């Protein structure tokens, strides 16, 4: 992997300082993502959307699309790709810059009030960059996934990595969290969100960390097949979130 992926100190500064602190109100108040704007999510239940499938992205600055236009962030690009394939989907982008798995455990309850059919859990990168304990990160992710499953949603867990100069032992243990949980809880897994994007200058912004518009399109190419497989499962089973 290229030298940019090894710039751990720069990565830590950008994600922890420039992105701002995580924000989330489990009481149901509006959340704020990207650069602090309100995430507008209607109170419409998925059962009132006809045949439309609701997909919720619970993530950090990567899902929020920090530094790119809203319609260029990969969740929106995925929505467009799935619609082109004939799927009647609507995406809720609940990405919040700087968020950790601890913040996600609070926000998931609020997000599930929207009755999504599928929840994409894209959190953990900031935990790793802060050197949080592997056990705590794993526990938080397990709680989020289990909560979504109990609510009747399908879950797509998104794997992340930390730069190798955080120490090979920590990096390996961190990366192993995601496939371990996916196997334990029986959910689908994207092995690494930034596959083919991390450390590629032409696919990242000037900070060398956050994908540019082209990078988000590449991320969408990675995520879309996993989501389509889940949607096909929904079509076969006819399952939906609890009413």
> pLDDT: is 15 or 175 the higher one?
175
Query: What is the pLDDT confidence band of residue 241, given thresholds at 50, 70 and 90?
Result: low
> Which residues are CB-neighbours of 157 under 8 A, at least 6 positions away?
121, 141, 145, 178, 181, 182, 187, 188, 189, 190
Closest CA to 155 of 119, 111, 113, 107: 119
Q: What is the pLDDT of residue 236?
A: 66
Residue 12: pLDDT over 70: no
Active-site annotation holds for 133: no
Separation between Cα atoms, residue 205 and residue 125, nearest integer Å:
17
Selecting among 61, 63, 97, 153, the annotated active-site residue is 61
Taking the model in full, what pTM does it have? 0.81
Contact 76, 93 (CB under 8 A): yes
Q: What is the dihedral of CA 215, 81, 187, 146, to 10 degrees?
A: 90
Q: What is the pLDDT of residue 176?
A: 98
The β-bridge relationship of strands 32-33 and 37-38 is antiparallel
Q: What is the pLDDT of residue 227?
A: 98
Separation between Cα atoms, residue 153 and residue 151, nearest integer Å:
6
CATH superfamily of 3-39+49-237: SGNH hydrolase (3.40.50.1110)
Selecting among 139, 180, 188, 207, the annotated active-site residue is 207
Q: What is the pLDDT of residue 76?
A: 98
Q: What distances in angstroms separate CA 59 from CA 122, 169, 174, one per listed residue? A: 4, 25, 17
Contact 168, 174 (CB under 8 A): no
Separation between Cα atoms, residue 220 and residue 144, nearest integer Å:
22
Active-site annotation holds for 210: yes
Query: What is the pLDDT confidence band of residue 50, given thresholds at 50, 70 and 90?
Result: low
Selecting among 60, 97, 210, 216, the annotated active-site residue is 210
Q: What is the pLDDT of residue 163?
A: 85
Query: What is the pLDDT confidence band of residue 238, given thresholds at 50, 70 and 90?
Result: low
Average pLDDT, the chain: 84
Q: What is the pLDDT of residue 235?
A: 72
> pLDDT: is 22 or 79 the higher one?
79
Give the tokens for residue 97. Answer: 């810059």
The mean pLDDT value for 36-59 works out to 60
The mean pLDDT value for 202-214 works out to 96
Domain boundaries, the chain: 3-39+49-237
> pLDDT: is 26 or 98 the higher one?
98
């Amino acid at each position: 992997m290229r030298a940019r992926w090894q710039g751990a100190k720069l990565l830590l500064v950008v994600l922890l300082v420039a992105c701002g602190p995580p924000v989330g109100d489990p009481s149901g108040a509006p959340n704020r993502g990207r650069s602090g704007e309100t995430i507008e999510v209607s109170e419409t239940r998925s059962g009132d959307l006809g045949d439309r499938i609701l997909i919720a992205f619970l993530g950090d600055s990567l899902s929020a699309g920090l530094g790119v236009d809203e319609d260029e962030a990969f969740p929106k690009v995925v929505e467009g790709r799935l619609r082109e394939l004939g799927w009647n989907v609507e995406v809720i982008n609940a990405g919040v810059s700087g968020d950790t798995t601890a913040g996600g455990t609070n926000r998931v309850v609020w997000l599930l009030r929207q009755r999504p059919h599928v929840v994409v859990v894209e959190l953990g990168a900031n935990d790793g960059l802060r050197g949080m304990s592997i056990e705590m990160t794993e526990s938080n992710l397990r709680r989020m996934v289990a909560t979504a499953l109990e609510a009747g949603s399908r879950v797509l867990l998104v794997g992340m990595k930390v730069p190798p100069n955080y120490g090979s032992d920590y990096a390996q243990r961190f990366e192993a969290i995601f496939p371990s949980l996916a196997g334990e809880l029986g959910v689908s897994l994207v092995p690494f969100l930034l596959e083919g994007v991390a450390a590629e200058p032409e696919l990242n912004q000037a900070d060398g960390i956050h994908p540019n518009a082209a990078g988000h399109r590449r991320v969408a190419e990675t995520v879309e097949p996993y989501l389509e497989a889940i949607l096909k499962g929904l079509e076969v089973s006819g399952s939906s979130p609890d009413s």
